[in-house]
A and B are shown apart, each in its own frame.
Chain A
Amino acid sequence: MRLFVSEGAPGCLPVLAAAGRARGRAELLISTVGPEDCVVPFLTRPKVPVLQLDSGNYLFSTSAICRYFFLLSGWEQDDLTNQWLEWEATELQETESLADIVLWGALYPLLQDPAYLPEELSALHSWFQTLSTQEPCQRAAETVLKQQGVLALRPYLQKQPQPSPAEGRAVTNEPEEEELATLSEEEIAMAVTAWEKGLESLPPLRPQQNPVLPVTGERNVLITSALPYVNNVPHLGNIIGCVLSADVFARYSRLRQWNTLYLCGTDEYGTATETKAMEEGLTPQEICDKYHIIHADIYRWFNISFDTFGRTTTAQQTKITQDIFQRLLTRGFVLQDTVEQLRCEHCARFLADRFVEGVCPFCGYEEARGDQCDKCGKLINAVELKKPQCKVCRSCPVVQSTHHLFLDLPKLEKRLEEWLGRTLPGSDWTPNARFITRSWLRDGLKPRCITRDLKWGTPVPLEGFEDKVFYVWFDATIGYLSITANYTDQWERWWKNPEQVDLYQFMAKDNVPFHGIVFPCSALGAEDNYTLVSHLIATEYLNYEDGKFSKSRGVGVFGDMAQDTGIPADIWRFYLLYIRPEGQDSAFSWTDLLLKNNSELLNNLGNFINRAGMFVSKFFGGYVPEMVLNPDDQRLLAHVTLELQHYHQLLEKVRIRDALRSILTISRHGNQYIQVNEPWKRIKGSEADRQRAGTVTGLAVNIAALLSVMLQPYMPTVSATIQAQLQLPPPACSILLTNFLCTLPAGHQIGTVSPLFQKLENDQIESLRQRFGGGQLEETFDLKAKTSPKPTVIETVTTAGPQQIQALMDEVTKQVCSLSPVGDWTS
């Protein structure tokens, strides 16, 4: 075995001395290393001394190494030794018995200078001297300290991480788990002053405008969420990626009294809609009408606060799109080209790749699809297929040349670069959006086709293109403008007003190219002073349990299903925002939803707010008591203020997930504060105790009031409920300042307090579903997944009945728990 020691490391003293014990029992090699060397492969920080055993194991604890040497020599472990060693390890940080040796080493730096010890401790002194004169100890001291005395220990010690203060220090208002910033006296004083000003600090509420229009001199915030494609029910991933994220920001923006317009709508043109129409035997317009309502209803249920939720199939859309197109055309940014495509005469239309099937020109496979052969995997152009067939009618299509229009992106590249150069620095574009935009530019922009041979779309106002429409991704982004135009005829004050408008656009990352490149190019080319995106907010993907949401395979929770579970919209909102996929993909998990609801909402947030209100009701007859703040209370005020400001900083930068945690942190501070001060006990005590109980209760209920406002962007219904329970004055409900004010002064009467959240149980989910009559299910639940050996249990949940949900949850729990004892965990 090999012992690694280092000059100047104090732990080396005892181990070298103890090594003498093992002499003759085992071969010991000694190596000297530097104090920074990481000898132990699994430890992050360097540690010395280290004993590498023949088995390959490492002993990195000084006393464990010494113990080992003693054990080798036949020594038996005993309680007293254990006690001394534990004491040395925990209290001293850093006998010829094992205990003697280790302690000797630990105390050496202090005791080796005889002048250091006071006279009374002569017993200690003589013990030390006895040991020091022993040969192994002398040699150890020499090896480690090398004549320099204890100064040799200094460099090593300086590099060690600071030991944390003892855990069991006097209990204060500060919770122990969090690292709290140290507060300056000024910060505390400022917080107290702001608190005392109370309600009078609130500015007058801005009158509600309708329609909302930009106002000169104010901050005008225009918020769009990517238009959901109409002919599918949105799933949770779509919702968190776009409308819900934008909603949080929109609500926050209004709380800050910024002039805010939040718009969205359904994107209705395109191939998919036409196809769906054919499937359902309806016209495209009828399909859009039907599904638009479904979307609107779902978002209403989720409490999305759009100022307007429109559609892209309007006259305004045609007008604005054609106008932009004309301007691009006259300025020379439109190219024409001929493309060869397959056309089915029978269906009288050009076929998109997915509608053609034929024989692969490479391998002869007979069911090769129009873009790729499933058998040999080679990419092909539909026109290259042998014996092509239209998938719909099976007749043989012909190759036809067809003209199309292209947006000359390369010609607009320079303007785009200039604009990006002005916009990106200092903005809140998310990192993924910046990255994707940069990659497209780095690869070099190419002309993009903006027309299609379809009937359902915005008509192209150009001779020779009467039977073509604009490609949906050209005009979809123009949809925001037309939706606004349908909301107010003064839409240009938002959309042609870059000086006064801050445009925030929310989307999932796959939409970034269209919002960051294609539309800005169109707008810049049209040269009509269009408002361009100031902050592009893109999320990553939300996965569903262990797979992906899939509209086509029916996997995952969809908008209307969320309603059927009986779990309130605000809980869904909370959970989705908690797992919002910001820096990377995240996953929806039923178990996690239960856990977060029960731990964060019920035990943390709900518990605090409820307790605070209950104390006011029970102990003070429903009236907020007098508050006399002591220094601890003032420090709490300052901490809450700091966290509140943190919340603002985060939400201003659209860091929605992190800001939510600020709310939970304040709530945790609140719980700790109540826990420590025990108002329920003090209320029964002396006059001074009762006053203390009053202060604590009053301060707590004011924190609850603050939380209700901070919570509004995330959980609007819960927020309103809290505000009603506490009877928070209306101005305080709609404005959030950067300071923590006393909004519920002494004497304020609150309303009836009741619990805000319900605990979620497995069977509860089941009974709620039954109560809401979610029984009329057409699709059968595919149980194939359950029999497969892989853990893909949740794979095919479509509209599963309550039994199936219960079975699923049991299955998940079972799989997690059924581990065989020896490392078989990853099977």
Chain B
Amino acid sequence: MAAAAELSLLEKSLGLSKGNKYSAQGERQIPVLQTNNGPSLTGLTTIAAHLVKQANKEYLLGSTAEEKAIVQQWLEYRVTQIDGHSSKNDIHTLLKDLNSYLEDKVYLTGYNFTLADILLYYGLHRFIVDLTVQEKEKYLNVSRWFCHIQHYPGIRQHLSSVVFIKNRLYTNSH
């Protein structure tokens, strides 16, 4: 989805009633937010982090130095790896890596829900929606994480709910 739409979605998820106006810049339509008390802010993850602070939910950016760095790492991953690549091979490599990463984690940072989970959910939605039953089973951890995030109160909004069949159909796809 377009960046401006995503940011509006994020505003609602964060419980912000404001409804900021976003403009777009450049060939790639990077979102720009004109703030009242400062220079404009450019960039999806930058604006997202700003909104989080506005909503007084800074814990979504991480609590420890390590957690903060990890959150930012995945935000960067979102705008470079996920938005930047859309070939089938790239997506599958990406899903494979994520699946491996999520093997022992509930959320991207481990045990805490953060902005990284939200933006990766929004960013991956268009790919997950097209996965076959077999692929969802292949990327079992991603499916588990995705299914979990989409049920998080207030996150999914108008995005379509992706169905995950709980029962294993393909027994040799571990």
Contact = CB atoms under 8 A, between A and B. Distances in A.
Interface in A26-59: 41-45, 53, 55, 57, 59
Interface string A59-87: 11101110110011000010100110111
A545 interface: yes
Nearest to B53: A79
A505 B154 CA distance: 55
Contact of A591 (B65, B90, B163): B163
Interface in A558-599: 584-587, 589, 591-592, 595
Given A42-B101, A68-B69, A589-B133, A168 B76 contact: no
A277 to B, nearest CB: 37
A817 B151 contact: yes
A59 B165 contact: no
B169 A816 contact: no
A560 B45 CA distance: 55
Contact of B144 (A55, A60, A87, A825): A825
A168 B148 contact: no
B29 to A, nearest CB: 5
Contact of A44 (B65, B73, B97, B110): B97
Given A79-B49, A587-B133, A68 B86 contact: no
A79 B46 contact: yes
Contacts of A816: 147, 163-166
A61 B77 contact: yes
Interface residues of B, number: 56
Contact of A791 (B27, B50, B66, B167): B167
A825 to B, nearest CB: 4
A543 interface: yes
B28 A79 contact: no
Contacts of A545: 167
B133 A64 contact: no
Contacts of A44: 93, 96-97
B83 A167 contact: yes
A90 B144 contact: no
A821 B93 contact: no
Contacts, number: 147
Contacts of B80: 89-90, 93
A546 B70 contact: no
B28 to A, nearest CB: 4
Interface stretch (B4-12, B13-21, B36-44): B36-44
B155 interface: no
A352 to B, nearest CB: 32
A279 interface: no
A68 B66 contact: yes
Given A44-B96, A68-B66, A83-B43, A164 B165 contact: no
A442 interface: no
Name the residue among B41, B164, B167 with the largest chain A CB count within 10 angstroms: B167
A822 B145 CA distance: 10
A499 B129 CA distance: 50
Nearest to B129: A599
B65 A167 contact: no
Contacts of A591: 163, 165
Contacts of A85: 72, 76
Interface string B80-120: 10011111101001001110110100100010000000000
B86 A177 contact: yes
A86 B76 contact: yes
A815 B166 contact: yes
A676 interface: no
Contacts of B38: 79
B77 to A, nearest CB: 7
B44 A176 contact: no
A45 B89 CA distance: 13
A67 B68 contact: yes
A41 B100 contact: yes
A164 B84 contact: yes
B60 interface: no
A177 B163 CA distance: 22
A121 interface: no
Contacts of B106: 821-823
A181 interface: no
A819 B148 contact: yes
Contacts of B26: 168
A789 interface: no
Nearest to A823: B106
B85 A65 contact: no
A628 B110 CA distance: 58
Nearest to B50: A79
A179 interface: yes
A169 interface: yes
Contacts of B103: 42
Contacts of B165: 589, 591-592, 816
Contacts of B30: 90
Contacts of B29: 168
A168 B28 contact: yes
Interface string A168-201: 1100000011010000000000000000000000
B163 A168 contact: no
A825 B167 CA distance: 11
**Closest A-B pairs by Cβ, 10 of them:** A546-B167, A42-B100, A64-B73, A68-B69, A86-B43, A71-B65, A168-B28, A42-B101, A587-B169, A61-B73
24 contacts: A55-B66, A57-B66, A59-B70, A61-B77, A64-B73, A65-B69, A68-B66, A68-B69, A77-B72, A79-B38, A79-B49, A86-B42, A86-B45, A86-B76, A90-B80, A166-B84, A167-B84, A177-B86, A586-B169, A592-B165, A816-B164, A816-B165, A817-B151, A822-B106
Given A59-B73, A791-B166, 4 more contacts: A68-B66, A168-B26, A595-B163, A825-B147
